Amino acid sequence: MLKWLAPLIVFGLVVFVHELGHFLAAKFMRVYAPVFAFGWGRRLWGFRRGETDYRISWFPVGGFVAMATKDSDSVSAIEGGVDVNAAPDEKEIQGHQRGFNPIPFDPEALKPFGPKPVPPERWVESKPLWGKLLILSAGVIMNALLAVGVGIGGVMAYGRTFGGQFATVEPNMTAVIDSVVPGMPAAIAGMRAGDSIVTVAGKPVTSWAAVVSEVAGSPGVPVEVSVVHRDGTSDRLVITPEAVRADSQSNRMIGRMGVFSAQHLRHEPATFGQAISDGLVITGRMGTEVVRVVKGLFTGAVSVKQLGGPLRIAQVSYEVAKTGLEPLLVLIAFLSMNLAVLNLLPIPVLDGGQILVRLIEAAKGSALSERTQEYLMRFGVLVILALFVLVNFNDIVSFLS
């Protein structure tokens, strides 16, 4: 179940929150929004409340919002096949729409649930510039708020080391042994899993990094190691670290005694104020990393082969979920910031491209021609399709290899 549930939670949540932002902003601006869907594609089940049909679609990942525009049918194929200006067909008038849970025809409702046309003042185009920009940017804002919220909650729950590589306090493993390699010096000397290392060569150690540093500096040289066993008893062990090469490129020798510490992270508790500050910093670092990668794609510093799509997200979600809730929350926050930043790119169809069009129209003093908007939409769709093919090709190659 985890293999299927983890990707649905991760990918579904960040896209759903994005669309929820657009929906709430549309409602605030009194734009007619007849459909708010969890998932993509045709309707499977739902209920109509007020003027909106809240539905679950057949592919339960993400979501979409259908909003009234002068030319709603031009984007209906992209946003779930809903033309809000279309009148119900004969089957709908007879009492049902396609799906397992039908929507009855309402003679008092606006299209597409009834015969009444959508008033022009309920179109997106009728709203002031600030209202249009609010609706278009609300998804990005919600993704950023999700990342910040996860960051603050994660710091409160797991301490200031929450956030992985984006954490404000570097995760520092305590000097507790997780496992001992049989036949290595530590095992021969009597060290066991669960022991806490107190001193190495007479020097107090409070972190795993300090243990590694002291042992590495004594290849083939006996050192005294003080430990506290799991049962509370203490012991002094004399261990001769095995001399190994530091790396394949040099002849420098370092000491290794054959112990690992992989699960014992020092918990750095945080106040609520620190959690808010850390959550904002973590989110900022995530956003900066996404911008760095996008910039690298344009400059050639980052290869397009590194881009991943839904398959890779699903694989990473599953692998991360197996390690625990904390890293899964970090992944959700990072993907949410990915979606926020990428949606601001000035590509038609994406929020950033639509924001740019609205700003151009405001500076121009009139709307772009229908032909121009159609060409821009087609260009945006081609770009998105090309990107979709690329990332899925990368995913398939990665999966096969």
Residue 170 tokens read as 């570097």
Helix, strand, coil % in the chain, rounded to nearest 5 = 50, 15, 35
pLDDT surpassing 70 at residue 298: yes
3-state secondary structure 303-336: CHHHCCCHHHHHHHHHHHHHHCHHHHHHHHHHHH
pLDDT of residue 95: 38
Rg (CA), the chain: 28
Q: Where are the domains of the chain?
A: 179-260
Q: What is the DSSP letter of 266?
A: P
- Please state the CATH superfamily assignment of the domain spanning residues 179-260 in this structure: PDZ domain (2.30.42.10)
pLDDT of residue 174: 67
- Percentage of the chain beyond pLDDT 70 is 87
pLDDT of residue 156: 94
Computed over every residue of the chain, the mean pLDDT equals 83
Name the CA dihedral angle for 174, 179, 184, 188, rounded to a multiple of 10 degrees: 90
Q: What is the mean pLDDT of residues 346-369?
A: 89
For 371, list phi and psi in degrees, rounded to 5: -65, -45
Residue 387 tokens read as 């990107």
Q: What is the pLDDT of residues 133-175, one digit of tens each?
A: 999 999 999 999 999 999 999 999 988 888 888 888 766 666 8
Q: What is the pLDDT of residues 270-284, one digit of tens each?
A: 899 999 999 999 999
Q: What is the DSSP letter of 123?
A: S
Q: What is the pLDDT of residues 194-220, one digit of tens each?
A: 888 999 988 888 778 788 888 988 899
d(CA 295, CA 301): 8
Strand 196-200, strand 203-204: pairing: antiparallel
What residue type is assigned to position 77 of the chain? Answer: A
d(CA 240, CA 259): 13
Query: How many Cβ atoms from other residues are within 10 Å of residue 366's Cβ?
Result: 7
Q: What is the mean pLDDT of residues 360-388?
A: 87
